[in-house]
Amino acid sequence: MKKGKKLYEGKAKILYAAPDKGTAIQHFKDDATAFNNQKKAIIEGKGILNNRISEHILSSLNHIGIETHLIKRINMREQLIKLVEIIPIEFIIRNIATGSLTKRLGIEEGTILEKPLLEFCYKDDSLGDPLIAREHIYAFNYCDVKTLNFITNQCFRINDFLQGMFKGIGIKLVDFKLEFGRTRKNESGSTTEKILLADEISPDTCRLWDATSEKKLDKDIFRKDLGNLIKGYQEVARRLDILHEQTNIRPIKFTKPIAVKIKKK
């Protein structure tokens, strides 16, 4: 598929124009960033894994009636998507307390929440994506009551489904971030505006812990220097049973040769 001009470049993805009106090509980069861009690295193969994992999750959600922007994956790093206007809110769903929630409110790390908690953050890197209330969303018209109620309902449905999906492969879904967008009228063959799940769902945007060892299999490996991020993401893909194809991710190289002493008899 012929890529058109670059429409937008974010921290982990690039959006290009696609041949059909109302569609775009979403390209997954290997760039990793954390702490509002203060920590950066390029991690070879991350984009390929996120493309594949996100495709799998969004298609599974589609099967249970959650409409998403995904049309199809077109190659190792790219997917064809419906072009949407992103609602400037990050929807954070939490099942277990960690990360900014523990810091902000002093909640003990690892506390299992009685009910899933939905938080709203205003999407603005220069402000550090601040936490906002429902009232801010209405006051500044980020979206209307009907849309927010619809999205809230979608968030909990998605959480239910994903918690079950991950539980089945021995992974705890600790928390994750969702973004939603509006299709523009008369585009994507639609005459009405629709709210679609957009962006990505991957170990970059979720916290995923092994159910028994609580070993981290997500971007916290990078944030907290816990080891090899690719191994964690590959483990998620392997358990989801989507690591069949050749991903062209080079095997991890040892920087120092391993010396083996052979005792002479």
Q: How far is the CB of 234 from ligand UDP (least distance, A)?
A: 18
Stretch of residues binding ligand UDP (CB under 6 A), selected from 93-101, 147-155, 161-169, 228-236? 93-101
Closest CA to 86 of 194, 198, 230: 198
Q: Which is nearer to ligand UDP, 10 or 19 (CB)?
A: 10
One of 61, 92, 198, 229 touching ligand UDP (CB under 6 A): 92
Which positions ≥6 away from 29 have C-beta within 8 Å?
A: 12, 13, 14, 47
Q: Which residues pair with 25 in a beta bridge?
A: 16, 80
One of 46, 77, 177, 216 touching ligand UDP (CB under 6 A): 177
One of 28, 120, 166, 176 touching ligand UDP (CB under 6 A): 176
Mask of contacts with ligand UDP, 32-51, x by CB under 6 A? --------------------
Closest CA to 118 of 56, 40, 175: 175
Q: Which residues pair with 24 in a beta bridge?
A: 17, 81
Question: Residue 216, interface with ligand UDP (CB under 6 A)?
Answer: no
Cα distance between residue 100 and residue 107, in whole Å: 10
Size, binding site for ligand UDP by CB under 6 A: 13
Q: Are 45 and 30 a contacting pair, CB within 8 Å?
A: yes
Question: Residue 166, interface with ligand UDP (CB under 6 A)?
Answer: no
Write the burial class of residue 103 (CB in 10 Å: 0-12 exposed, 13-18 middle, 19+ buried).
exposed
Question: Residue 82, interface with ligand UDP (CB under 6 A)?
Answer: no
Q: In Å, how far are 13, 161, 175, 209 from 64, measured between CA atoms?
A: 26, 9, 21, 24
Mask of contacts with ligand UDP, 184-213, x by CB under 6 A? ---------------------xxx------
> What are the φ/ψ torsions at residue 211 (nearest 5 degrees)?
-65, -30
Instruction: Identify residues 97-126 at the interface with ligand UDP (CB under 6 A).
Output: 99-101
Q: How far is the CB of 70 from ligand UDP (least distance, A)?
A: 17
Interface with ligand UDP by CB under 6 A: which residues? 90, 92, 99-101, 129, 175-177, 205-207, 219
